[in-house]
Structure 1
Amino acid sequence: MSLLLFKSNILIAFILIFSINYCQNVEIDSSEIKNPSIAWKIAFVPGFGQLYNEKYIKFATLTSTHLYAIKKYTTLRKQGNITKRNTWGWWVIGLYFYGILDAYVDAQLSSFPSKVKKDSLNLEKKQVDILEMKKK
């Protein structure tokens, strides 16, 4: 059993060491790289970090969900339903911090190369190259 484990570890190490030769040098447009420190500062206003990162669908989804949670919290507070009010209060807080964290991570990943093409609204579209498909 230990011999099999040893051989598999050697194989994994061999693959990891020699796969470095297959890394690609991908040029990234520096105008598309987002500053993470700006992203998390802007994200203190719910949804604005997603706008900074040009993630418009995330912005709309996160902002509308956040506003709905705030609305439920305030109506339940007026009704005096403490248990449900507290649950929606936690949703408000969770969505707030999720928006900040998501904006920071998206800004960090803006320098990561991707094979995704964006259309005029900056909505992501998967890039399909017909010539590459014919070659295979």
Structure 2
Amino acid sequence: MKLIAIFIISLSTVYSAYMDIDSTAIRDSAKSFKWSLIPLVSQGQAYNQKYFKSMCFTVSQSYALSQMSYYDQLDGIDNIKMRNKFGWWFLGFYVSSIIDSYIDGELSTFPLRKK
């Protein structure tokens, strides 16, 4: 009985250690994080091969930055409020791009679902 238990435990550890993952598909999350620190370019998404997401983050960051610079040239308290609002939008898009590219880099090691 003791030998059977040892045999079952050893087989379970052998099969649980085997993972069918392509090592070339694994993304380095630290590298993705470093690439995403470049503002307005969103290279962390491009490193993770999420090109559409990279384009969306780039467009949204550039729009927020252009609106921020537009309202910065105008006078009045309402324009200052709008400038600050778009500044916060830019910061939000920038930080969410960094977080998203890091998470995509971490999740690249998970196997895809087979349909």
TM-score normalized with structure 1 length? 0.65
Which residue number corresponds to residue 125 of structure 1?
none
State the shift of 1:113 in Å.
1.1
* Secondary structure of 2:21 counterpart: coil
Structure 1 residue identity aligned to 2:60: T
Q: Which has the higher strand share?
A: 1
Quote the residue 2:97 is aligned against. 99
SS at match of 2:65: helix
Q: Please give the alpha-carbon distance, in whole angstroms, between the structure 2 residues aligned to 1:59 and 1:26.
A: 30
| Structure of higher RCO (CA pairs closer than 8 Å, 6+ residues apart) | 2
How far 1:114 moved relative to its partner? 1.2
Aligned sequence identity (%): 35
**Aligned residue pairs, count:** 94
Aligned to 1:35: 28
Match of 2:56 in 1: 61
Partner of 1:14: none
1:109 corresponds in structure 2 to 107
Whole-angstrom distance in 2 between the partners of 1:68 and 1:109:
29
Residue number among 61, 67, 72 corresponding to 1:77 in the alignment: 72
Q: Secondary structure at the match of 2:108?
A: helix
The one-letter code sitting in structure 2 at the alignment partner of 1:99 is S
Whichever residue aligns with residue 37 of structure 1, its letter is A
Which residue identity is paired with 2:28? Answer: N
What is the match of residue 44 of structure 1? 37
Q: Please list every run of at least 4 consecutive aligned residues from structure 1 whose deviation after the TM superposition is greater than 6 angstroms.
A: none
Structure 2 gap segments, 5+ residues each: 1-15
* 1:79 shift after superposition: 1.3
The amino acid across from 2:80 in the alignment is I
* CA RMSD across the alignment: 1.6
